[in-house]
Amino acid sequence: MIDNQTVQYIAGLSRLRVQDQDSSRFARDLEVILHYVRQLEELDVKDVPATSHVLNIQNVFRKDEIAPSLTQEQALSFAIEKNSGHYIVPKVIE
Amino acid sequence: MEFETVIGLEVHLQLNTCTKIFCSCRNLFGDQPNTNVCPVCLGLPGSLPVLNRKVLDFGIRVGLALDCEISPLVKFDRKNYFYPDLPKGYQISQFDFPIARKGHISIKSSAGDKRIGITRAHLEEDAGKLIHNDQNRSTLVDYNRTGTPLVEIVSDPDLRTAQEAYDYLTALKLVLSYLSVSECDMEKGSLRCDANVSIRPKGDSKLGTKTELKNMNSFSAVRRAIDYEAKRQEGILLSGGEIVQQTLLWDDARAVTLPMRSKENSHDYRYFPDPDLVPFVLDPAWVIAAREALPELPTQKLSRLVEHYKLNIYDATIIIQDRELADFFEACYLIYPDAKKIANWLNGPLLKELNERKCSLHDLDLLPAVLAALIEKVETAQISNLAGKEALSLYLNKNGSLEEIIRNKGFLQVSDDQQLLTVIDEVLRDNPAAVAEIKSGKTNVTGFLVGQAMKKMQGKANPKKLNELITGRLQNE
Ligand SMILES: [Zn+2]
């Protein structure tokens, strides 16, 4: 059962801000989706391997050969804030 | 109540491939920040990861060396969490199909050999480097390390003491160092270790609540941290408290573990298959070829050195600590086939030189032929043992060829009878009292006369020869 609390928890994991009045709508939608998927439980899928990929291709590699990277200037051109070759982010503490 | 500690270790090993795991950026530590980055390792929209084949080869090699089963199917999954060291918002890792599982490694314990299980080894990408700046409350981010290939090696909870954990790490590092897949340097971060620690009443089979220890910078720090944490947990249980499952950071300076101040839910990683990476199916022939290409591993080398060269376990154990040193030993033996003598020189003077210089064998310009020649000169008494050690040191300091050093330093010992006898006769004449004592049976006084003669020869006489000649002279009188 998806309740408002679960919606807020999932939103938190995804760093999304969900307004309280929207929570119950999302809870209802998620519940419907889960209900639909739950139909699978009626089938015997014991011997069916989980699909991890829908394309029928495998073993796509590259050789261990160096190719040019971006320049520091290019890399940092996306940064909102930068300093001495680094991206700057708000302080995170561990 | 008596408690038992249960420890499992997670070791992260950075692989020394030329490029990163999913992009062609240079895989190198210590460059200018954010210069080895591209749209893939920066997680820019629209970029696609492509696996470096060598990373898979290295992963198979690590798995085989740890006696693991290699998974015929290898797939990658996304481990989701938000942190600035991870530009994509997820780390590409392996969840349910790790490349290797069910291996083991042996450690020496007081009760003989103990087998430690390896739960799994999986491939993943490293995160970026954060530098926290206290002054302006900001964090600097360098993404050069992002996408460095890692193998994470997870042990079974088979370790029971901090010392066993230390021994496991030492044994593991030795095997890994033989594989040439990583620098295996904990100080430089190419080998890192986290520990899962819990305690339970001795005899119980149920595991206690565990804590995860991070931030240990050396094997001995791992040992100290586990010892501290086991005692801390014991204190809590004995006073009726409960262990809280959490991640703790080891503070080596203060010698305590402290809770990591992180957001709740950080362990809800919501793994799912990475749709950007197709699965990898390992042909059995591939794995067989990798097994055949494995180098001789430390335990195999140890038994071979003991059996083939008749080395004792002690000498052989020291030599196999360094694959290079073991190769050097065998190369010396081809030139000068006296295993014990070579072992003495490697484990004594040569290791001392390496330790003093804090370098490894390949940093020295030393050919096996040069050391073999030096050993031969000492063994044939052309130079003394002491002079030999000094000659080695001077040679490594680039003071010329071995021959030049021996000549210039006057290391050659005089073994010529005529020359020595002239000196001996002088010594015997100057020390009548000592001569009388020897004749009365106090043969140990001979040493004094050898010393006197050596003094006159400025230390350049062959002491064995001097002894023989003095004894002969006195017997003939
Ligand atoms: Zn890149």
The complex scores an ipTM of 0.89
Helix (H) or strand (E) holding B405: helix B402-408
For B49, list phi and psi in degrees, rounded to 5.
-75, 145
Contacting residues of B for A92, CB less than 8 Å apart: 83-84, 130, 132, 139
Q: How far apart are CA B137 and CA A93, in angstroms?
A: 10
Q: Are residues B103 and B242 in the same domain?
A: yes
pLDDT: which is higher, B453 or A30: A30
Residue-wise pLDDT for B346-367, tens only, equals 999 999 999 999 888 988 889 9
Q: What is the pLDDT along chain A (94 residues), one digit of tens a residue?
A: 888 999 999 888 888 899 988 999 999 999 999 999 999 889 888 888 888 888 889 999 999 999 999 999 999 998 999 999 999 998 876 5
pLDDT higher than 60, residue B263: no
Strands B211-214 and B247-251: parallel
Picking from B286, B315, B336, the residue at the C-terminal end of a domain is B286
How far is A50 from chain B, CA to nearest CA, in Å? Answer: 10
With CA atoms as reference, report the closest residue to B166 among B107, B211, B210: B107
Q: Enter the DSSP assignment of B159.
A: B
Picking from B408, B433, B449, the residue at the C-terminal end of a domain is B408
Picking from B248, B265, B286, the residue at the C-terminal end of a domain is B286
pLDDT at A63: 97
Residue B291 lies inside a defined structural domain of this protein: no
Q: How far apart are CA B465 and CA B453, in angstroms?
A: 11
Report the percent of chain B where pLDDT is more than 90.
Answer: 68
Whether A34 has its CB under 8 Å from any CB of chain B: the answer is no
Q: Are residues B200 and B334 in the same domain?
A: no
Whether B303 has its CB under 8 Å from any CB of chain A: the answer is no
Q: Enter the DSSP assignment of B26.
A: B
CB contact under 8 A, A66 and B278: no
With CA atoms as reference, report the closest residue to B156 among B164, B148, B146: B164
Q: Are residues B150 and B7 in the same domain?
A: yes
Cα B32 to middle of ligand 1, angstroms: 15
Q: Are residues B325 and B215 in the same domain?
A: no
Q: Are residues B199 and B328 in the same domain?
A: no
C-alpha dihedral sign at B358, B363, B365, B370: positive
Q: Say if CB A55 and CB B108 are below 8 A apart.
A: no
Nearest neighbour of A52 by CB, restricted to B35, B39, B279: B279
Helix (H) or strand (E) holding B92: strand B90-93
Report the CATH number that the domain containing residue B454 is assigned in CATH.
1.10.10.410
Residue-wise pLDDT for B377-434, tens only, equals 888 878 888 888 988 999 988 888 888 888 888 788 777 778 778 888 888 888 888 8
CB contact under 8 A, A69 and B37: yes
Q: Are residues B140 and B231 in the same domain?
A: yes
Nearest neighbour of A87 by CB, restricted to B83, B141, B249: B141
Q: Quick count: other Cβ atoms within 10 Å of Cβ B250? A: 23
Contacting residues of A for B25, CB less than 8 Å apart: 66-67, 69
Q: Are residues B398 and B356 in the same domain?
A: yes
Residues in chain B: 477
B140-154, B334-348, B380-394: which has the minimum mean pLDDT? B380-394
Q: Are residues B306 and B279 in the same domain?
A: no
Domains of chain A, residue spans: 4-41
Q: How far apart are CA A21 and CA A4, in angstroms?
A: 10
**Which B positions 409-468 lie with beta carbon below 8 A of chain A?**
none
Helix intervals (H) in chain A: 4-13, 20-37, 72-76
Q: How far apart are CA A88 and CA B2, in angstroms?
A: 50
Cα B49 to middle of ligand 1, angstroms: 9
Helix (H) or strand (E) holding B93: strand B90-93
**Partner residues linked to B152 by β-bridges:** B12, B122
Q: Are residues B169 and B202 in the same domain?
A: yes
Question: Coil, strand, or helix at residue B467?
Answer: helix
Q: Are residues B349 and B248 in the same domain?
A: no
Q: What is the pTM of this model?
A: 0.86
- What mean pLDDT, rounded, does chain B reach? 91
Q: Are residues B431 and B401 in the same domain?
A: no
Q: Are residues B15 and B119 in the same domain?
A: yes
Cα B216 to middle of ligand 1, angstroms: 28
Residue B161 lies inside a defined structural domain of this protein: yes
Give how many domains chain B has, as a whole number.
3
Cα B28 to middle of ligand 1, angstroms: 12
Residue with tokens 């809280």: B244
Q: Which of A6, A51, A64 to mutate to test the interface with B (most CBs of B within 10 A)?
A: A64
Domain carrying residue B460: 417-475
Q: Enter the DSSP assignment of B332.
A: H
* Across B244-272, average pLDDT: 82
